[in-house]
Amino acid sequence: MNIGIGALATSKHAGVRQSGIHQYAVNLIEHLPAALRDDQVIVYANNTPIKSESRSISVHNPVIPVEKPAVRVAWENLVLPLQVRRHNVDLYHGLAFTSPRAIGVPSVVTIHDLAFVRWPEQVPGRRSLYLSRAVRNSAKRAERVIAVSEYTKRDVIELLGVPADRIDVTPLGVDQSLRRASIEAIDAFRMTNGLTIPFFLAVGNLEPRKNLPALIRAFALAADEIPHDLVLVGAEGWRTKALHQALAEPAIRDRVRLQGFVPADELTLWYSACDFFIIPSLYEGFGLSLLEAMACGAPAIASNRASLPEVAGDAALLAEPDLESLAAALMVMAGNLELRTVLASKGPAQAANFTWQRTAELTVECYRKAV
Domains of the chain in start order, with CATH, are: 2-173+355-370 (3.40.50.2000), 183-351 (3.40.50.2000)
Mean pLDDT of 163-191: 95
68: helix, coil or strand?
coil
Give the relative orientation of helices 337-351 and 288-295 as an angle to the nearest 10 degrees.
110
Q: What is the pLDDT of residue 13?
A: 61
Which of 43-52, 154-163, 251-260 is most confident?
154-163
CA distance 160 to 165: 14
Mean pLDDT of 131-149: 95
CA distance 140 to 352: 34
CA distance 185 to 124: 40
- Whether residue 109 is predicted with pLDDT greater than 60 in this model: the reply is yes
* Helix residue ranges, H only, 193-263: 212-222, 241-246
| More confident call, 253 vs 370 | 370
- Whether residue 90 is predicted with pLDDT greater than 90 in this model: the reply is yes
The continuous run of DSSP H or E covering 267 comes out as helix 264-273
Q: What is the pLDDT of residue 3?
A: 98
- Whether residue 136 is predicted with pLDDT greater than 60 in this model: the reply is yes
CA distance 59 to 40: 11
Flag the least confident range among 126-140, 156-170, 175-189, 294-308.
126-140
Flag the least confident range among 138-152, 248-262, 305-319.
248-262
- Given a contact cutoff of 8 angstroms between Cβ atoms, the answer to whether 148 and 109 are in contact is no
315: helix, coil or strand?
coil
- Whether residue 225 is predicted with pLDDT greater than 70 in this model: the reply is yes
- Whether residue 16 is predicted with pLDDT greater than 60 in this model: the reply is no
- Given a contact cutoff of 8 angstroms between Cβ atoms, the answer to whether 107 and 142 are in contact is yes
CA distance 371 to 368: 6
CA distance 130 to 153: 21
Flag the least confident range among 27-36, 64-73, 182-191, 346-355.
64-73
Looking at the chain, the number of H-run helices and the number of E-run strands are 15, 13
Mean pLDDT of 114-140: 84
- Whether residue 315 is predicted with pLDDT greater than 50 in this model: the reply is yes
Mean pLDDT of 326-342: 98
CA distance 223 to 24: 36
| More confident call, 116 vs 308 | 308
pLDDT grade for 300, boundaries at 50, 70 and 90: very high
- Whether residue 18 is predicted with pLDDT greater than 60 in this model: the reply is no
- Whether residue 334 is predicted with pLDDT greater than 70 in this model: the reply is yes
